[in-house]
Amino acid sequence: MAGTRLILVLGDQLSRTLSSLRRGVKGRDVILMAEVWDETQYVKHHKKKIAFLFSAMRHFAAALEADGWSVDYVRLTDEGNRGSFTGEVARAIKRHAPERVIVTEPGEWRVLQMMEGWEEDFGVPVEILPDDRFLASHHEFQDWAKGRKQLRMEYFYRDMRRKTGLLMDGDAPEGGKWNYDAENRKPARRDLFMPSPKRFEPHETTREVLDLVADQFSEHFGDLEPFWFAVTADEAEDALSHFLEEALPHFGDYQDAMLKDERFLYHSILGLYINAGLLDPLEVCQRVEAEYEKGRVPLNAAEGFIRQIIGWREYVRGIYWLKMPDYLEENFFEAERTLPSFYWTGETDMACLKAAITQTKEEAYAHHIQRLMVTGNFAMLAGIDPKHVHAWYLIVYADAYEWVELPNVLGMSQFSDGGLLASKPYAAGGNYINKMSDYCGTCRYDVKTKTGEGACPFNALYWDFLARNEDKLKGNPRLNQVYATWARMKPETKQSYRASAHAFLESLDYDG
C-alpha cells in the first residue's frame, strides 16, 4: 500500500468535495488544518471574521473525523505552533513522514508563492491541485481574455450561462434577455416587509473561539459580539433556505437600495459562507433557478442573483489571477492620501458614511452598493491611495479574501486599473446617494447645496475629482456628457467646487 499523504486544508477550503480531499484515502492519509498567527496578521482582520473562520475550521475538522478521517488540527495557542503555513507543514512532515503533500491551490497569490517553495524546502513532492469549486479554470479565463481589446463581464457571464445551462432555454437565455439589470434599480420603501438574515446561537465550539479571539485579538477592528454567523455547512444551508424564501423574490428590485435602519435589505449574506467553502456556488445558483422554475421568484431576481455568482464572482477571480502580482501596484489616478480616521470609527457627520462604517464595524458586513457607492466612491473622490483602500476592505468584511476583494476594490470601486474591469469610474455626487437611500434626510449636510459650509461634501468632491483627473478621463466616451457640463460651468463655479472640496479634505483627520 502507498504511504501516507499529508493533505493540507486551508481555512477557506471547508468543502467536503474539495479536490485535495477527493484524492485522499481514509485510514491512509492525514489531513492537516492549522490556525496560524501569520494569517491573522498579514492584515489585522475584523474580530468577527477570525471567529467565524476558526469556529468553521474546528467544526469542519470535527465533521471529517466523525466521518473516519484522520485529522491533525493545530490550534492557535498549541505549544510549538510556528505561526505560518510553511512552519506548520514542516512540523507535520516530521510527525507523519508523508510520501507527498497534497493541497488545493490557495485563493491568494501570496499563499501560492509560499507553497511553490515547499518542495525544495521540505524535500517532499508537493502537489497543488486546481480549485474546481470555481466554474472557470485559470486556463479557461486566460483563453477567453486573450486577444480581447476590452474585457467585459457581460460576455464572460453569457459563456458561463451556456456552460452551466442556468436559466437557458436551449441556446437562448430564459425570457429572451441575458440581463435584467434595468429592472433592478428601485429605491427601497420603508413600508415594505424587510426580512432579516438567519441568525445562529453560538454553541460550545464557537464560545471557545469567541473567548480566544477576545483574548488574542482585542486590538483588531470591529465588534466581536453579538456573533450570529453560521459555522457549519448545515447551518449555512439553513441560511440559504431562509434567503430563498424570505428575501430572494425582492433581491433584484432593491439590489441597489440603501436604508438607514435596514442593514441587510434583500441581500443574501451568503458571501462569507460561499467563500469559505460552506456552500457550493453552483448549487446555490441551482437552488435559485429552481425557485424561479417553481414560479416563486421573478426572473429579474433569479437572473440578477445568478449573475452575481457565475458572472461577477468568477470574472473578478479571473482578473485577479490574470493580473497578479502587478495588479497590487495599480494606481491610475496617482492617489496619495491616507485613509480618513473615520473609516475606523464611523465618527463623521456624513450620515451615509456613518451608517455604512458603523454597520461594518458591528456586523463585518455592508452590502454591495454601500461598499461601492458610499465608502468606495468617497475614497476615490477624496484621492485615497488605493493600497490603503485595499487594506481596509480586506480587513473589515467577513467575506474578504484578496482574490475577490482586490479586483472589486482596485478595479471596480477605485478605477485604479484605468478601466480594465469597469468601463467608467463609479463616481457620484450626493444626488445618487439621495435617490437610492434615506440617509440624506437625517444628515447634517444638505444634499441639494453644492458648495460651502453645510453643503453635501460629495457634491464638491465629485467635480474636484473630475477636474483634477480630466487628462486621464476625458477620452472616455461614457464621460462625454459630464465633461461637457463641466466645460459649460462658469470659472467662479468651478473654482468654488474646487475650493470647497479642498477645504473639506483639509478639515479631516487622517491615519498615520
From 248, 372, 420, 479, residue interacting with ligand FAD (rule: CB under 6 A): 372
Residues 31 and 20: their CA atoms lie apart, in Å, by 10
Q: Which of residues 325-384 bind ligand SF4 (CB under 6 A)?
A: 350-352
**Whats the size of the chain, residue-wise?**
512
Question: 3-class secondary structure for 140-167?
Answer: HHHHHHCCCCCCCHHHHHHHHHHHHCCC
From 47, 367, 388, 390, residue interacting with ligand FAD (rule: CB under 6 A): 367
From 108, 314, 399, 438, residue interacting with ligand DLZ (rule: CB under 6 A): 108
Residues 128 and 104: their CA atoms lie apart, in Å, by 6
Give per-residue burial for 430-454: e unless 16+ CB within 10 Å, then b: bebbbebbbbbeebebebeebbeee
Beta carbon of residue 414, minimum distance to ligand FAD (angstroms, whole number): 8
> Partners of 30 in the beta sheet?
6, 70
Nearer to ligand FAD, 36 or 270 (CB): 270
**Binding pattern for the stretch 23-52 against ligand DLZ, x by CB under 6 A and - elsewhere:** -----------xxx--xx----x----x--
Q: In this structure, are strands 70-74 and 30-34 parallel, antiparallel, or unpaired? A: parallel
433's contact among ligand FAD, ligand DLZ, ligand SF4, none, with CB below 5 to 8 A by partner kind, is: ligand SF4
275's contact among ligand DLZ, ligand FAD, ligand SF4, none, with CB below 5 to 8 A by partner kind, is: ligand FAD
Q: At what angle do helices 480-488 and 457-468 cross, to 10 degrees?
A: 100
Contact 458, 427 (CB under 8 A): no
445's contact among ligand DLZ, ligand SF4, ligand FAD, none, with CB below 5 to 8 A by partner kind, is: ligand SF4
Q: Which of residues 421-480 bind ligand SF4 (CB under 6 A)?
A: 430, 433-434, 439-440, 443, 445, 447, 456-458
Nearer to ligand SF4, 392 or 445 (CB): 445
Residues 321 and 94: their CA atoms lie apart, in Å, by 33
108's contact among ligand FAD, ligand DLZ, ligand SF4, none, with CB below 5 to 8 A by partner kind, is: ligand DLZ
50's contact among ligand DLZ, ligand SF4, ligand FAD, none, with CB below 5 to 8 A by partner kind, is: ligand DLZ
Window of 107-115, 155-163, 173-181, 431-439 that interacts with ligand DLZ by CB under 6 A: 107-115
Cell, residue 457: 461634501
∠ at Cα 494 (489, 496), nearest 5°?
135
SS3 state at 117: coil
Contact 322, 143 (CB under 8 A): no
430's contact among ligand FAD, ligand DLZ, ligand SF4, none, with CB below 5 to 8 A by partner kind, is: ligand SF4
SS3 state at 412: helix
Q: Which helix (H) or strand (E) segment is 72 a member of?
A: strand 70-74
Residue 6 interacts with ligand DLZ (CB under 6 A)?
no
Nearer to ligand DLZ, 45 or 317 (CB): 45
Contact 315, 400 (CB under 8 A): no
Q: Which of residues 174-233 bind ligand DLZ (CB under 6 A)?
A: none
Residue 53 interacts with ligand DLZ (CB under 6 A)?
yes
Interface residues toward ligand FAD, by CB under 6 A = 267-271, 274-275, 305, 308-309, 312-313, 316, 367-368, 371-372, 376, 393, 397, 399-400, 404-405, 408-409, 412-413
Interface residues toward ligand SF4, by CB under 6 A = 350-352, 430, 433-434, 439-440, 443, 445, 447, 456-458
